[in-house]
């Protein structure tokens, strides 16, 4: 090749790769997150708030973890087997994994973690995840790197609960886990090591050079506590943090802001209007169906979310593998609504909707529904209550419970098992707080959780959702989309999905 051509090629490639050089990864990069609330404890078996879990995600790891497709993949466990009868799970652990203080991670730590959760003196609310039909799961150490979980009966959702982050036995054995100093100075097996925690202000972690999936590309992560959503957004725009949720009203504006990339993705959540079926007002299916016809879900979605949500029709979420929208949908139809109300002799229906304070979306929905139902002659009173007061009412172990209707949401786990929400035995103690009872649904729920094998389960759940939607014990309102804004200097993000953008935090980096 002639010298001239070569030089031109060289110059061209330099020019075109210049942006790449400019966008070079910063080896000492620090990622700045914002937390929407205060971190309570940095101990995965105790914490229940999202702020604590966000930080724990960087410090701790579990036997299995979730991938972009929402499948469970190996983490601390290299592989696992399930016995033929579905009752014994054997996990073969990764070797030579070290805790942040240098001690080797073994099967003892795994057994210790789960035994601690099962210990009634420990304030872990996850305990019932490991108790099946009243019997706790037994954990056995076979050898240094093999641990077994012995279940009282086959239980498909177990794999997900096996993903609990593991805590170190050598640091917590014999101590009162509820109050241990460890909860302020955690030690884990994850990609980042705890550095400091200034109460109410921030938490920071630094790179774990010996992380088993490879040295993290970030030198450190700083979690700043900014409780107000709007302040978070302001901070993102000002370049003070790298990531923030975006309320629907700011979506259009943020899309055109330079330097910030906006992601929207589905979440495993649905919001609904639940009726107390023990109340004679709602005993007749036709009343509930009438109200469903009177609900203009599109107006809800457009007024509250400006389109960043979709109407819901089934007790599952579209991105769940078990979702099916082959269900009765009750499209907006005032005439049908009025007709059904007349048939059920409920033309002068009046009821109160409870809503929890602090969730603006639900408060707005209550007010909008009040207006919508007015059009069919139904009078709605809206009562906003504080969250714990609301929970107390719907969780009260009495029959009937003291509410008529409530707008609330379910955050779905990775497993579609909905036994605790819909099974008739889960009332009055359990999540079936509306007293729903349908024997065929009960059977299907049992079947769903004892069947192993995705395609078989999928069929069961499709039938299940259809039956439930037919009964309309809830009016399913919407599936919100999660909207997140991330600074363009951040790279290595995972595909947008309910598992979040920072799924593999060790692969995330920031540019200079």
Partner 1 sequence: MRKNRLAILGFAALCCFILVAIIAPLIAPYNPDEIVESQTLPPSWSHLFGTDDLGRDIFSRSLYGARISLTVGLVAVTIAVLIGTLFGAISGYYGGLIDSIIMRFVDVMLAFPSIFLILAIQVMLTPNIYNVMIVIGLTSWMGVARLVRGEFLRIRELQYVEAAKAIGCSNFRIIFRHILPNAQAPIIVAATLGMAGAILTESALSFLGLGVQPPMASWGNMLMDSQAYMRDAPWMAIIPGILILITVLSLYFVGEGLREKLNVRG
Partner 2 sequence: MRKYLFRRLLQLIPLLIGVSLISFFVMHLAPGDPTALFIDPNVRPEELARVRANWGLDQPVYIQYFVWLKNAVLLDFGRSYTTGQPVISEVAERLPLTLLLMIPSFILTLLITIPVGVISAVRKNSWFDNGFTLFSFAGMAIPTFWLGLMLMLLFSVKLHWFPAVGNIILPLITMTIGSLAGLTRYQRAAMLEILNQDFIRTARAKGLPERIVIFKHALRNALIPIVTILGLSLPDLFGGAFIIETIFAWPGMGRLGVQSIFQRNYPMIMGIVMFSALLIIIGNLLADIGYALVDPRIRYEKK
Minimum CB distance to partner 2 smaller for 223 or for 330: 223
Residues 323-362 close enough to bind partner 1 by CB under 8 A: 357-358, 360
Binding mask 418-457 for partner 1 (x = CB under 8 A): ----------------------------------------
Contact 163, 105 (CB under 8 A): no
Is 303 strand, coil or helix? helix
How far apart CA 165 and CA 388 sit, in angstroms, is 27
Examine residue 239 and tell whether it contacts partner 1 (CB under 8 A).
Answer: no
Q: Give the other-Cβ count within 10 Å of 217's Cβ.
A: 20
3-state secondary structure of 408: strand
Question: Which residue's CB is nearer to partner 1, number 306 or number 466?
Answer: 306
Give the number of other CB atoms < 10 A from CB of residue 374: 12
179 binds, among partner 1, partner 2, none (CB under 5 to 8 A by kind): partner 2
Q: Does 230 bind partner 1 (CB under 8 A)?
A: yes
Q: Does 25 bind partner 1 (CB under 8 A)?
A: no
Among 44, 168, 186, 247, binds partner 1 (CB under 8 A): 247
**Which of the choices partner 1, partner 2, none does residue 6 contact, using the CB cut-off of 5 to 8 A by kind?**
none
**Residue 150 or 382: which CB sits closer to partner 1?**
382
d(C-alpha 290, C-alpha 369), whole Å: 13
Nearer to partner 1, 106 or 356 (CB): 356
Binding partner of 387, given partner 1, partner 2, none, CB within 5-8 angstroms per partner class:
partner 2
Site stretch for partner 1 (CB under 8 A), options 143-151, 155-163, 200-208, 227-235: 227-235
Burial pattern 291-300, b for ≥16 Cβ within 10 A else e, equals bbbbbbbeeb
| Total residue count of the chain as it appears in this document | 512
Rounded to the nearest whole angstrom, what is the least distance from the CB of residue 273 to partner 1 in the complex?
16
Nearest CB to partner 1, comparing residues 163 and 480: 480
Candidates 80-88, 123-131, 363-371, 478-486; binding stretch for partner 1 (CB under 8 A): 363-371
Phi and psi of 99, rounded to 5°? Answer: -70, 165
Residue 144 or 383 with smaller CB distance to partner 1 = 383
Buried b (16+ CB within 10 A) or exposed e, 321-338: bbbbeebbebebeeebbb
Residue corresponding to tokens 């593999």: 504
Question: Where does 286-404 show beta strands of DSSP type E?
Answer: 309-311, 350-356, 379-385
The Cα 225–Cα 38 span in angstroms is: 6
Angle at 27 between CA 168 and CA 220, to 5 degrees: 35
- Tokens for 447, please give them: 């079947």
Choose from partner 2, partner 1, none: what does 183 bind? Cβ within 5-8 Å by kind.
partner 2
Residue 252 touches partner 1, criterion: CB under 8 A: no
What is the contact surface with partner 2 in residues (CB under 8 A)? 38, 40-41, 46, 48-49, 120-121, 123-128, 178-180, 183-184, 199-201, 225-228, 230-231, 234-235, 238, 240, 386-389, 391-392, 395, 397, 408, 410-411, 413, 420, 429-431
Segment 379 to 418, residues that bind partner 1, using CB under 8 A: 382-386, 389
CB of 127 to partner 2, least distance (A): 6
Q: Which does 48 bind (CB under 5 to 8 A by kind): partner 2, partner 1, none?
A: partner 2
SS3 labels along 427-472: CCCCCCCCCCCCHHHHHHHHHHHHCCCHHHHHHHHHHHHHHHHHHC
Please identify, using beta-carbon distances, which residue of 388 and 455 lies nearer to partner 2.
Answer: 388
- Cβ nearer to partner 2, comparing 226 with 468: 226
Task: Identify whether the C-beta of residue 72 lies closer than 8 Å to the C-beta of residue 160.
Answer: yes
Q: What's the rounded Cα separation, in Å, for the pair 512 and 506? A: 18
371 near partner 1 (CB under 8 A): yes
384 interface partner picked from partner 1, partner 2, none, CB below 5 to 8 A per type = partner 1
Q: Are 203 and 38 in contact (CB under 8 A)?
A: no
Handedness of CA 424, 266, 504, 203 (dihedral sign): negative
Which one of partner 2, partner 1, none is in contact with 83 (Cβ closer than 5 to 8 A by kind)?
A: none
C-alpha to C-alpha distances, 69 to 171, 321, 490, nearest whole angstrom: 35, 10, 22
Interface residues toward partner 1, by CB under 8 A: 228-230, 247, 249, 302-303, 357-358, 360, 363-364, 366-368, 370-371, 382-386, 389
């Amino acid at each position: 090749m002639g010298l001239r051509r070569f030089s031109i090629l060289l110059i061209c490639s330099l020019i075109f790769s210049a942006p790449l050089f400019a966008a070079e990864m910063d080896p000492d990069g620090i990622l700045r997150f914002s937390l929407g609330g205060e971190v309570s404890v940095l101990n995965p078996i105790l914490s229940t708030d999202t702020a604590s879990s966000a930080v724990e995600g960087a410090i701790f790891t579990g036997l299995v973890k979730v991938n972009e497709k929402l499948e469970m993949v190996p983490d601390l466990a290299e592989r696992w087997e399930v016995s033929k009868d579905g009752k014994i799970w054997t996990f073969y652990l990764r070797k030579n994994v070290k805790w942040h203080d240098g001690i080797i991670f073994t099967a003892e730590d795994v057994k210790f973690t789960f035994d601690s959760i099962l210990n009634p003196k420990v304030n872990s609310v996850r305990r019932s995840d490991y108790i099946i039909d009243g019997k706790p799961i037994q954990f056995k150490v076979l050898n240094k790197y093999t641990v077994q979980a012995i279940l009282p009966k086959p239980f498909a959702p177990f794999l997900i609960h096996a993903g609990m982050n593991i805590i170190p036995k050598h640091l917590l054995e014999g101590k009162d886990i509820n109050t241990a100093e460890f909860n302020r100075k955690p030690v884990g097996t994850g990609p980042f090591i705890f550095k400091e925690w200034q109460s109410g202000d921030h938490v920071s972690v630094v790179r774990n050079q010996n992380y088993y999936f490879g040295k993290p590309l970030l030198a450190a992560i700083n979690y700043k506590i900014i409780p107000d959503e709007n302040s978070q957004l302001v901070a993102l725009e000002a370049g003070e943090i790298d990531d923030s949720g975006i309320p629907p009203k700011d979506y259009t504006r943020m899309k055109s802001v330079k330097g910030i990339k906006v992601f929207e993705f589905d979440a495993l959540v649905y919001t609904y209007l639940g009726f107390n079926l023990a109340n004679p007002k709602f005993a007749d299916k036709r009343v509930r169906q009438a109200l469903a016809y009177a609900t203009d879900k599109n107006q809800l979605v457009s007024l509250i979310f400006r389109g960043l949500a979709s109407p819901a029709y089934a007790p599952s979420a579209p991105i769940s593998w078990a979702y099916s929208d082959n269900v009765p949908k009750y499209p907006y139809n005032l005439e049908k609504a009025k007709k059904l109300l007349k048939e059920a002799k409920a033309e002068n229906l009046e009821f109160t909707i409870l809503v929890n304070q602090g969730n603006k979306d639900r408060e707005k929905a209550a007010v909008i529904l009040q207006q919508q139902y007015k059009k069919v002659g139904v009078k709605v009173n809206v009562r906003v209550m504080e969250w714990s007061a609301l929970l107390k009412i719907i969780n009260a172990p009495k029959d009937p419970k003291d509410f008529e209707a409530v707008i609330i949401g379910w955050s779905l786990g990775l497993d579609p098992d909905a036994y605790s929400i819909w099974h008739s035995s889960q009332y009055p103690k359990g999540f079936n707080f509306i007293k729903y009872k349908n024997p065929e649904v009960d059977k299907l729920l049992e079947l769903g959780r004892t069947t192993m094998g995705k395609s078989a389960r999928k069929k069961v759940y499709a039938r299940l959702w259809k039956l439930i939607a037919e009964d309309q014990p809830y009016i399913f309102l919407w599936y919100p989309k999660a909207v997140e804004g991330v600074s363009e200097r951040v790279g290595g993000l995972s595909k947008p999905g309910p598992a979040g953008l920072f799924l593999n935090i060790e692969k995330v980096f920031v540019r200079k």
